[in-house]
Amino acid sequence: MPDTHSLLLFVVAGWILNLTPGPDVLYVVRNALRYGARAGVVAGLGITGGCFVHVAAAAVGMGALLASSAWAFNVVKWVGAAYLVWVGVKLLLTSAGASPLALAAEERGVASAAPDMGQIFTGGFWTNVLNPKVVLFFLAFVPQFIAPEADNKTWAFVALGVIFNLNAIPINTAWALAAAWLAGRVALVQRAMHWLDRVAGLMFVGFGAKLALTHTPTP
C-alpha cells in the first residue's frame, strides 16, 4: 500500500478522473434525465459493479506480469504509458459541445414508462464490463501508487482498486443529481465541462509520462 501522502493523491486523482465525461458518465446522465435521480444512482451502482470485475481480472494478470521478466515489465509499461497519453490527448482535443449533458439533453421530453431499476443496474454493469479499455486503465493507473517494496503487490492492487471504485460511487451519484436538477439548464454547465476535460487530459498525459520514466525493477 502507498504511504498516507500517496494514498491521498490517489484518492484525489480518482475523484477527478471519475468526474471526467465518458461512456459511464453518459449512461448515468441519460438515465437521470429520463427517469430521475434515483435511476441515475442505480446506473452508477451498476457501473461500479462492473469496475470490480475489471479490478479482479487486472489483479490476477498483474500478479503474473510483475513476477515476470524485465522485458514483460517494459512492454506493459510502454503500452500503459502510450494508452494514458492517448486518452489525455483525446480529452484535450474534445469539443465542449460534446459533453454528456448536452448529448443526453436531446432525449428530454420523451414520454416513457416507469423505469425497471434492475434493467438499469444490469445495463450499467455490462456497459462497463464489456469495455476492454477499463481493465487497461486499471493496469496503467493503479500500479503507480503501489510501493516498490510492497510484499504482496497483487493484494495492494486489489485494495487500491476497491478504494478507487468506492470513491466513484459519490461521483456517479453527484452526476445523477446534477443531471436531474440541471435537465433544463444544460447551457450553464458547458463551459465547466470544457475545462474539466482539459484538466483531466493533462492529468492523463502526466501519468503516462510518469509511467514511461519508471525504472525497470531488477528480478
How confident is the model at residue 156, as a pLDDT? Answer: 86
Contact 173, 43 (CB under 8 A): no
Asked whether the beta carbons of 214 and 77 are under 8 A apart, the reply is yes
Model pTM score: 0.67
Residues in the chain predicted with pLDDT less than 50, given as ranges, are: 66, 96, 108-112
Determine the pLDDT at residue 110: 45
Q: For position 103, what pLDDT does the model report?
A: 52
- Which DSSP string corresponds to 104-173? HHTTTT---PPP-HHHHHHHHHHHHHT-HHHHHHHHHHGGGGS-TT-S-HHHHHHHHHHHHHHHHHHHHH
Domain limits of the chain?
4-212
Contacts of 12 (CB under 8 A, 6+ apart): none
What is the number of other CB atoms lying within 10 angstroms of the CB of residue 104?
22
Return the pLDDT at 111. 43
Give the per-residue pLDDT at 1: 54
> Which cell numbers hold the place of 105?
439533453
Task: Give the dihedral sign, CA 91/109/41/125.
Answer: negative
With 0-12 / 13-18 / 19 or more C-beta atoms within 10 angstroms meaning exposed / middle / buried, residue 69 is exposed
pLDDT score for 61: 75
Choose among 76, 212, 88: nearest CA to 157.
76
Residue 204: predicted pLDDT? 73
> Taking Cα atoms as reference points, which of 127, 133, 151 lies closest to residue 63?
151
- pLDDT at residue 18, rounded to an integer: 83
Task: Please give the Cα distance from 34 to 55 (Å, whole number).
Answer: 30
User: In this predicted structure, what is the pLDDT of residue 161?
Assistant: 92
